[in-house]
Amino acid sequence: MNRKTQIVMLSILGGTLGASLLARFWLNQNVQTDPVAELESLLATRKKSTAAFIVSPKEVPTTDNYYTDEPEEDTETDGIPNDDFPLRLGSQGPRVAKLQVWLLRNYGWTGKVTDLLDEKTEKQMKRFLKTDALDQATYERLKLDAPLHQQKIIR
C-alpha cells in the first residue's frame, strides 16, 4: 500500500465513523422520555430492592396501653386532605406529594414521596427554598401543579 492509498482509506474510515456518531447522537436526541414513567420505575425498583431487607418488629402489648383515661388522638380529618396554603409541617395531600417530587428532581431529595409533610421535607424546604412554610405564590411560581416536564427547574 502506498501513501496515497493509506490516506484515502483513513479518510473513508474517519468519514464513516463520524457519520455513524452523528447519526447515533441525532437519534438519541430525538427520543423523548417520559419523566413520570422514569420516576415511577425508579421508585418501583427501589421498593423491590429494599423490600427484602425490611424487618417489621413485633409489638408487645403492655398494660399501660389498656388502662388509660385519655382518649386516643385521631390524626385523620375525615378523609379530607389538609393541603391548604401555607404548606407546613403536618400538611397532608397531593400538593405535598408534588412538592416532594419537585425536591427529588431538583435537589436529589432522598426521602420517600408521601403525601405527608414531615420533618425531613421541612428540613429540605428550609435548606433549598429558605422557608419553613410554602405559600401559594411560591407554589405557583415553581409551577408544581403543571406536568413534570413543564415545572420550573432550579439548580
pLDDT tens sequence for the chain (155 residues): 799 999 999 999 999 999 998 888 887 776 666 777 777 777 777 666 555 555 566 665 565 555 555 555 555 544 555 778 888 888 999 988 888 888 888 887 777 888 888 888 888 889 888 888 989 998 888 888 888 777 777 76
pLDDT of residue 32: 61
Is 33:41 a contact under the CB 8 Å cutoff? no
* pTM greater than the 0.85 cutoff: no
Convert 92-113 to b/e letters by CB count within 10 Å (16 or more is b): bbebbbbbbbbbbeeeebeeeb
Taking only Cα atoms into account, the Rg of the chain, rounded to an integer number of angstroms, comes to 26
pLDDT of residue 141: 87
The domains located in the chain, with CATH, are 81-155 (1.10.101)
Q: How far apart are CA 40 and CA 37, in angstroms?
A: 5
pLDDT of residue 13: 94
